[in-house]
Structure 1
């Protein structure tokens, strides 16, 4: 029997992982990427002696990366190294409070109690609840397709369904946190986890309180070569398995004949395949690549609310700040108003919460001596035609003022180089509709069931992976998306 061929559209992290899994299955795999580089959002920027990881900066669940090497019969340690963080993140509040989020649960809970007065036992109890939600949802919502009847016949699925009320789907995350903690700073701390999948804690279900478990049980890590080394090492593995990558190769169409995906059309030629996997945002997959087949478009899914986007400043800073760490958060003084601006007014609040990542704290050659590479990000709405140039100019000044006040230094005088990525750039570089980072939002208690499936129900041989489909965005879920899609391909 001749070797079957799989074509993957997009070399994002999920597309690369799918390529590895299908190559291990025996497929001849080719990946077509519109950009000149792999990784999608998980890419890099280099300027004036500074190196920046362009996209995701938090690394959790490294076992899903290791699993790909092990699947291929390789030792992950020969390709990819990482270290566990003892300090997950530093938090700075407008009232002067500074919190160290230690990886050790006991130490973290004591830090909360010492700095806020919130009993350590309340924090431990909250994290135990987070663990319970994970145990109920993990095997059902994260590791299997929710769109196959067979999933619901499994005993562990039935058991999870009986425990459904325990995942707290009918309260918002904020209401649950406000009932668990008395101190507003602690409530704000745990509300922030809604932003991990581009959602609003004042709308999203309390089920999202599962997210802290990923940090405080599995841990947070830093890859030895920075975040982009995840992309580099997985591409290396894929190529060793015979996967062919085609860069600067924009796909124009998925060829569908008699209800079956027959391949793709790119650069004026048809490229035949037995299996087609789209790692492109599902909105663009239908609107661009399946535009000739409007009857196939899932209108309800394509009209869903999009997740939030991001505005990122990449700054070369000619100074070192010992009070900062790899991950740092500078909270807004009014969290509710900040989210109202993002989700209701579709603009940016004058006092946004600022995330500051400095990879040179762990990878010293990412910046010149006595300098730091600052990845400065805020959550912003998806692109709906806002005047981004004005918004960026205003918020840049606000961010600099905020950081300067808290750090006691005029940051504007320390910036030696700058790059900016806004929702327009995110859309154009990564084909993420409206620049939304996580596809659709999770501001609905049934969001997990409403995401697009990993296999087409209308086109034989067409599959989907990536952050815009089940189970969602972020590195761990994208890798699980690849796992689910690959298992569906026989």
Structure 2
């Protein structure tokens, strides 16, 4: 080993950890990744059964350039821009096709709801403006370092703070934009992309609709896990050393200095340590800190999920890659999630069928269904009872909407609930996005990507700034690499 090169440990091989490892290796650091699981990916995982392949975690691919920029040209993989983003089904019988072509989508809305197409186009233009104002400050930068924010461009952006709809909820923003309750519900749904409540989260989150409808929704040629495979191979090509089935025992520090980590009972010295594990797990296990833990636990957790993986005996031409079956009462659904800590008896159902894009993900004539409803974070609920009740509600809703008898078509079933999500990913209470964004200042309360009092310690992943989801986790790695590079130049 070249003793003149700086060393870095990355704790966790989720997508944020993989991206951080790649970026640090490209800076010339000797990087080792320590992962408690037997494989990379974190929440992005897959499983195979009876000839079916399922993506277990995220199912939407946006801002693919954030992946492309990490990969050598020969490792870049094919992905397709979706022509249809989502099929939406409403209880009144309305079906809306969210075409990727914005004008075509707006015309579809006008035809099905009677609302002028200009209403959708104007809304998305406003969402684009919010993205232009927020992305450089909140998504691709660490606003915890005030020196980075004090640029003339950022000052000009902050002077337009009123445009961000910070003090209106997403629901209020959508009610003002759309006279039709179905469209309000459709655009309220974007709060769930970071596990939040549209009746509480700020209208700023309308920015997510811009990512999907104007910047585009994509899908990898071989499924979502192809992202992990490509990043893992890139990291190995750069000389990153991986240790799987190897949980880190402790972060080593003293007198305000980072020393390294303890792993397998041995002390390892590293000049840089990047944590890609849930921030609650970090402060409860690796660097015990009751004060910080209490602060984290006081914040409202994001939602979790209850997911059924079904091998289906036949094909369903009416369905697309992404399908949403809305509840009748969205407000009650979110009151159940965040106030009553349960799942309503009429949940919105998301059905993701990757074999619509990757034919080999299911045997010929069959389909692989990822069927998800939003669930509260784990707080001692009787999940066995909830799973049984929700399963019945899901099947009844889909049978009614599709005119099917789905029970007869389910070849096999696997289930993932908030408890198993917590056990498999380390996400505190199974909350998939860390803290929720159910307040105007939630973004400012996320843990920073660094610790001033422990130079050399950094944080990436969905539980810290800028947040959960593939693009934000990749952005957290980019922010950390920029900070490490600045430090190296001093």
2:261 aligned with 1:264, yes or no?
yes
Partner of 1:195: 192
Equivalence map 1:74-85=2 (5 Å): 74-75=72-73, 78-85=75-82
DSSP 3-state at the match of 1:287: helix
Q: 1:229 aligns with which of 226, 229, 233?
A: 226
Could you list the per-position Cα deviations for residues 208-233 of structure 1 after superposition, in whole angstroms to 9, with x for gaps in the alignment? 01110001121000101100000000
Equivalence map 1:267-346=2 (5 Å): 267-291=264-288, 293-294=289-290, 297=292, 299-346=294-341
Change (3 A) 1:298 1:419: closer
> For residues 232 and 278 of structure 2, what CA distance do their matches in structure 1 show?
20
Partner of 1:11: 13
Q: 1:387 aligns with which of 382, 387, 395?
A: 382
Q: 1:440 aligns with which of 417, 435, 444?
A: 435
Could you list the per-position Cα deviations for residues 98-153 of structure 1 after superposition, in whole angstroms to 9, with x for gaps in the alignment? 00000111000000010111111110100000001001101001111011121221
> For residues 92 and 439 of structure 2, what CA distance do their matches in structure 1 show?
33
Could you list the per-position Cα deviations for residues 64-109 of structure 1 after superposition, in whole angstroms to 9, with x for gaps in the alignment? 001112xxxx21x643110100100100111110000001110000
2:105 aligned with 1:108, yes or no?
yes
2:140 aligned with 1:138, yes or no?
no
DSSP 3-state at the match of 1:233: helix
> For residues 78 and 344 of structure 1, what CA distance do their matches in structure 2 show?
46
Task: Give 1:418 shift.
Answer: 1.1
How many residue pairs end up in the alignment? 483
Task: Give 1:303 shift.
Answer: 2.4
> For residues 300 and 151 of structure 1, what CA distance do their matches in structure 2 show?
26
DSSP 3-state at the match of 1:59: coil
Whether the 8 Å CA contact 1:301–1:450 is kept in 2: the answer is no
Task: Give 1:304 shift.
Answer: 1.2
Partner of 1:56: 58
Q: 1:129 aligns with which of 107, 126, 132?
A: 126
Task: Give 1:298 shift.
Answer: 6.2
Whether the 8 Å CA contact 2:284–2:293 is kept in 1: the answer is no
> For residues 333 and 307 of structure 2, what CA distance do their matches in structure 1 show?
17
Whether the 8 Å CA contact 1:14–1:465 is kept in 2: the answer is yes
> For residues 7 and 377 of structure 1, what CA distance do their matches in structure 2 show?
35
Task: Give 1:350 shift.
Answer: 0.7
Q: Normalising by structure 1, what TM-score?
A: 0.97
Change (3 A) 1:232 1:78: closer
Task: Give 1:5 shift.
Answer: 0.7
> For residues 165 and 415 of structure 1, what CA distance do their matches in structure 2 show?
50
Whether the 8 Å CA contact 1:151–1:157 is kept in 2: the answer is no
Could you list the per-position Cα deviations for residues 166-224 of structure 1 after superposition, in whole angstroms to 9, with x for gaps in the alignment? 01100111011001111100000000000000000000000001110001121000101
> For residues 378 and 260 of structure 1, what CA distance do their matches in structure 2 show?
44
> For residues 426 and 356 of structure 1, what CA distance do their matches in structure 2 show?
19
Task: Give 1:302 shift.
Answer: 4.3
Partner of 1:175: 172
> For residues 422 and 460 of structure 2, what CA distance do their matches in structure 1 show?
18
Task: Give 1:300 shift.
Answer: 2.7
Q: 1:470 aligns with which of 465, 469, 487?
A: 465
DSSP 3-state at the match of 1:60: coil
2:160 aligned with 1:158, yes or no?
no
Unaligned 5+ residue runs, structure 2?
Answer: none
> For residues 66 and 136 of structure 2, what CA distance do their matches in structure 1 show?
14
